[in-house]
Amino acid sequence: MSAPIPRPGEHLPGPSPTVDPDAVVAEVDRLLSEVDDLSSIESGVDADDQHGLVSVHHQARILEQAHQLLVDALAAVDKN
């Protein structure tokens, strides 16, 4: 006896979305470019942020967006 294996995205409501791989890659590249731009900013420029923590927090938020974009695309592909 074998139980069906749940697939990522099956739990999402609505019809299966389509995924444009080129659009996903372009958006992830754009987000990673933002992270690169932020990492090149000299830390400690602002007296209130001597250790660059605001920049790190901003980078983390952008990386989280890129991650979510990839997770959503994978879920959409797996739902099909």
pLDDT at 69: 95
pLDDT at 47: 52
> Could you give the residue ranges of the DSSP H alpha helices within 1-80?
21-39, 53-79
pLDDT at 38: 80
Neighbours of 62 (CB within 10 A): 18
Torsion angle of the four alpha carbons 8, 10, 16, 20, in this order, in degrees rounded to the nearest 10: 0
Kindly give the confidence (pLDDT) of every residue in the chain, 80 residues in length, as a single tens digit, with 9 standing for 90 and above. Answer: 577 777 666 666 777 667 899 999 999 999 999 988 887 765 555 556 555 666 788 889 999 999 999 999 988 887 65
**Distance between alpha carbon 44 and the CA centroid of its chain, in Å?**
27
The pTM of the full predicted model, rounded to 2 decimals, is 0.66
